[in-house]
Structure 1
Amino acid sequence: MSEPTETPPVQDSAPFRHLHPLSIILKSLSMIGRNIVAIAVLHFSLFDQNIAYTMLAAAALVVLVAGVTALIWSRFTYQVTDREIRIKSGLLNRNNRSIPFDRIQDVSLEQKLPHRLLRLATVALETGSGGGEDGQLEALTRSDAEELRDTIRDYKAGRNAVSPDSIEQVATEEAPALFAMDNRRIFIAGLFNFSFVLLAILGALAQNLDFLLPDDFFDPRNWFDALPDQQIIDGLSFWVRVAGVLGAIFSLVIIGFVSGIIRTFIREYGFRLDRVDSGQPGFRRRRGLFTLTDMVMPIHRVQAAIIQTGPVRQRYGWYHLKFKSLAGDASGETDHSAAPCATRAEINAVLGQCAIRSPGETVPFHQVSSALWWRRALLAVLLLGAIAMTSGTLFHSGFYAVLLLAGPVSLFLFLSWQQHQYVLSDGQLFVRSGWWRRRLTLLPLSKIQTVDVSQTAWDHPLDLATIIIGIAGGSAVAPLTIRAIGLDRASDLRRQLLSRTASHPAIG
């Protein structure tokens, strides 16, 4: 009879440590930056533009922020034992938190630009409790942050900790990247990420700093009155004015493309996805121009894969692969970008690492009922007709202008219906949806948690139903759905999904 294996004692003698002292400066600068607008408001209002009072207020703010930040830093300590991490924080109300390694689902590293210059990193711990990050160490040296991450991952894999240098060598030298994007690929991805974020930022700045702008700055009539050659504009022909409007629209389109490219470069710069096998096998993703994020997503936590594209993007063979995972990233999102701008061959290579397969070209997808589009089109026509009646009589041009919108709306709904398809094949469920934003969900049946069949008041007369599929880590607001299928077929599909789920229990 073999002797029982002795469990090694928990090592609790590790000392409590502070964050890096430079975190005081970083935190102080961040808090001061958020209060610059308040100082400007005081300068132009309460202090009546008196520079002496403003400088005194700014100096008092710096002293106050630096003092409070230093006090908070002195009261924040953490301890890493063999099986858990303990965090003590709080000034008046002390908080002692213990996070066992067994409960930690994900450890991510983040480096904002000041942190990168100082070789510091933020470590975020996520346990999947639904509240986002459960523990955060905002300023550790890069080596200490990587050592902590590797210690947790190796413990969960039941292995002794290895040096971070060896982890880095295995990830970057022995195996090539699963997927990476150079600047050309990032530029292509930016072309498909049309955005007006630049205009939104300028608008937000204008609203917050409107006291610096002249009165009636946003009134277009004042701008026209200020033009020295207003008579010339009044004398322009109708077609010249139309050309001016089209030019303004074209300028907005250019701004949208430029904003999308800039935004994509900031987020995806240096994108690299690796397979790591130290500790728990997973995907390691690094990206970011100003804020570098370094996270490892365990493969067994992957619940589903999502392939996104659009009519133009698909025409040129570009797709966006995402993984839906139990663990959230630094922003709390559970849809992790694995390949933002990739070909189908590159996507299949990444999917092959987590036993999720793309549907073959010969797999026959099932089309849902055409009622999905004509019911919505009928409702849209009735709604537009009601709006047109309020615009004037039958002889009013606005009446027909509104009714003309019914054609494009109905066409869009028809195209969206054509893209809504599904198929059950080889232990996976594939669901297509959307026309302009095309989305293909690849869901292993072992990951399905719930399957509901629902009917609305519109579904009963046509004997139709909607299948709602729940998966761990999925969105309760926008779950995976298959709409407008026959009630009998929906009930049969529900039985198939649940029976196969029972024969393939979920892992993770």
Structure 2
Amino acid sequence: MNAQARTLRLHPLTFVVGAARELIALLGAGAAGLVVGGLSTAFYFTLVGLGLGLVFHVATWVTFTYTVQEDRIELRRQLIGRSVKTIPRERIRGVDISATLPHRLLGLAIVHIDAGADGGEGELNAVSRHEAERLRRVLLTRAVSAESPPAERPIVRRRELARMRPRWYLYAPLSGAYLLTPFALAGSLLGTLYNLSDDLGLVTQERLQNLGHDVVGLPTVAVIAFAIVFLIAMPIMSVIVFALFNWDFTVYERDGSVVAERGVITRRSVSLERRRIRGVELDDNPFERAAGVVRLGALVTGLGDAAHRGRLLPAAPRSAVEDLAWRVLGRTPAPLIGHPRAARSRRVTRAVAPPLGIAAMAVLAHQPWVAYACVVLAVFAIPLGLDRYRQLGHATDDERLTVRSGSLRRRQAIVEHSAVVGWRIRRTLFQRRLGLATLLVAVGAGEGRYPATDMAEGDAVAFAARITPDWVTPFLEQAPATRARARKHEKAPRP
């Protein structure tokens, strides 16, 4: 163990942060006491809850310590038993800094340490902003010790790569997730009100029946007006929620890491080591494509919760996204090479086959209306299949490769050649009849594999051979000799 390493504690204001976080629970305890026995009981309920919370946070502060060694960080808890968690620094994939509203008011921050599947993760619930930045710099800099003198520490240099503009928040309704926000909020509010009313005895069968009769008896104009107001609220609420989560979304480079900061109430800062970023992914849907909007994510080795922690831009014009991708990864291989026409018939067939199959079963079950509806869906699925074919593409250069597929969710992965760890060529019975194959690019980052769907069989092999010739060429050279031996064996007389 490094003799110079100091044992540190969380910030003393952890008590205040904990009290603010448990304020809602205390209010709930007070409300329960008010229902049970009046104001005096509510006061005692709240007082007991506050006392227990204070004891808990004092015990946590006293018993929790952390130590940064040259090769690891140790998190210790010593209450009744002793627990020591060790995270090797070489396995640390990222150090995220976030701050809820109480943390920000007190100048504190939460430090989350992600060391991938093997190293685990750790969290420091409340440290000063200065200490949080120091930990991020130290833990992500392998060559510098936590206790190195200031002269030996690297100079902090920040270079901004991209920043969200206010008008980009208007792209939120194009994403289905944010557009459904009013439904989620309304459902949560109604569920909370119902549960609270049920606990207080305000909900009875008679009252529910009367409410149902009142709703049914509303004028048609009122129902239509309510529906219109709700539909108008959907895009407005989606923009508000999108802005709350992604306010002032800024991407910058500092100390060999790419850092993304965002949020209003809770400000979150995610650091991604530059040397572990092995690619990027562009993601969009038909509405975003029509508006020229794309989302960008980073493909990072060993990153947990990559869908959120690897986000580089939530929604931005394609030109801004491509510029950021170039700054983070480098030049994108272009133009994309289209796939053969046989892939078009396969894409259309796969789009119309499910509704036609259901229509056939509906006819056998004597359900003509279901069959008619499925036939209509099959007709509308033809443009979907054609668009899926148009989106297929692949390309490569001397450093990176890219593959693209999908329509309702189009995804284009751009990966460094050095990140490729293997290939898999998959051919179904129908693909073999059409001379097609799906090439799966195995990558040690992101989701692990990215498909180049319905390529010509020869193109799939040539694509893999161009990127990793040492892996693929021996198999290509052995294949003719293997087929010759097989033909010779077939012609040999059997005993």
Range class of TM-score, shorter chain: 0.7 to 0.9
Alignment check: 8 A CA contact 2:30 2:43 kept: no
Equivalent residue for 1:499, pick from 427, 448, 469: 469
Show the counterpart of 1:366.
339
Give SS of 2:109's match: strand
Contact 2:419 2:445 in 1 (8 A): no
**Equivalent residue letter for 1:190:** A
Amino acid at match of 1:64: L
| Alignment CA distance shift 1:422-1:157 (3 Å) | farther
Q: Which residue of 94, 102, 126 maps to 1:139?
A: 126
Q: Residue 161 and residue 501 in structure 1: after superposition, are their counterparts in 2 closer, same or farther (change >3 A)?
A: farther
Q: TM-score, normalised by structure 2?
A: 0.80
Structure 1 position 181 matched with structure 2 position 164? yes
CA displacement 1:162-198 (0-9 Å, x = unmatched)? 5899956x31xxx4x211123223x233233342233
- How does 1:348-359 map onto structure 2 within 5 Å? 348-359=322-333
Report the equivalent of 1:13: 4
1:379 aligns with 2:354: yes
Following superposition, the deviation at residue 121 of structure 1 comes to: 0.9
Q: How far apart, CA to CA, are the structure 2 residues paired with 1:341 and 1:163?
A: 41
| Structure 2 unaligned regions, length at least 5 | 198-202, 474-495
Q: Deviations over 1:208-250 (max 9, x none)?
A: 442334346997x7546226966x65xxxxxx89xx66x6665
After TM superposition, the score normalised by the length of structure 1 is: 0.78
Q: Distance in 1 between matches of 2:38 and 2:299?
A: 55
What residue identity is the alignment partner of 2:108? L
Q: For residues 295 and 207 of structure 2, what CA distance do their matches in structure 1 show?
A: 39
Aligned match of 2:245: 267
Q: Is the 8 A contact 2:33 2:42 kept in 1?
A: yes
Instruction: From 62, 85, 94, give the equivalent of 1:74.
Output: 62
2: CA distance, partners of 1:298 / 1:228: 59
**Shift in alpha-carbon separation, 1:328–1:289, aligned structure 2, 3 A:** farther
8 Å CA contact 1:365–1:423 kept in 2: the answer is no
Cα separation, partners in 2 of 1:294 and 1:211, compared to 1, 3 Å: closer
Which of these residues, 165, 170, 174, is aligned with residue 192 of structure 1? 174
**Residue 482 (1) aligns with residue 452 (2):** yes
Cα separation, 1, equivalents of 2:359 and 2:134: 61
Q: Which amino acid aligns with 1:93?
A: G
| 1:325 matches 2:305 | no
- Unaligned runs of 5+ residues in structure 1 are 1-9, 234-239, 504-508
Give the whole-Å Cα distance in 2 for the aligned partners of 1:123 and 1:103.
16
> Is the counterpart of residue 254 in structure 1 residue 232 in structure 2?
yes
* Equivalent position of 1:403 in the other structure: 375
* Residues 208, 489 of structure 1: alpha-carbon distance in 2 compared, 3 angstrom cutoff: same
How much does 1:318 deviate?
Answer: 2.8
Q: 1-side partners of 2:116 and 2:171: how far apart?
A: 31
Structure 1 equivalent of residue 484 of structure 2 = none
Rounded Cα–Cα distance in structure 1 between residues aligned with 2:71 and 2:213 = 72
Residue identity matched to 1:197: T
Tell me the amino acid that sits aligned with residue 436 of structure 1. Answer: L
Helix, strand or coil: the match of 1:353?
helix
Residue 15 of structure 1: how far off its partner (Å): 3.2
Kindly provide the amino acid, as one letter, of the partner of residue 196 in structure 2.
Answer: L
The aligned runs of 1:201-220 (5 Å cut-off) are 201-213=185-197, 214-215=203-204
What is the Cα-based RMSD across aligned positions, in Å?
A: 3.6
- Code of the aligned partner of 2:331: R
Structure with greater helix share of residues: 2
Among candidates 395, 408, 412, match of residue 423 of structure 1: 395
| Residue in structure 2 matched with residue 30 of structure 1 by the alignment | 21
Question: 2:404 aligned with 1:432, yes or no?
Answer: yes
Q: How does 1:63-212 map to 2 (within 5 A)?
A: 63-129=51-117, 134-156=121-143, 162=150, 170-171=157-158, 175=159, 177-185=160-168, 187-194=169-176, 195=178, 196-212=180-196
Aligned pair in 2 of structure 1 residues 373, 251: CA closer, same or farther (>3 Å)? farther
Q: Which residue, 391, 401, 415 being the options, matches 1:443? A: 415
CA distance in 2, matches of 1:199, 1:429: 41
Are the counterparts in 1 of residues 144 and 152 from structure 2 also a CA contact under 8 Å? no
1:343, 1:98 → 2: CA distance?
43
Match of 1:336 in 2: 310
Q: Take 1:408 and 1:35, find their aligned partners in 2: how far apart are those partners?
A: 55
In the alignment, the residues of structure 2 paired with residue 37 and residue 308 of structure 1 have an alpha-carbon distance, to the nearest angstrom, of: 42
Q: Which residue of 1 aligns with 2:492?
A: none
Change in 2 beyond 3 A, CA 1:481/1:335? farther
- Report the residue type matching 2:380 in the other structure: P
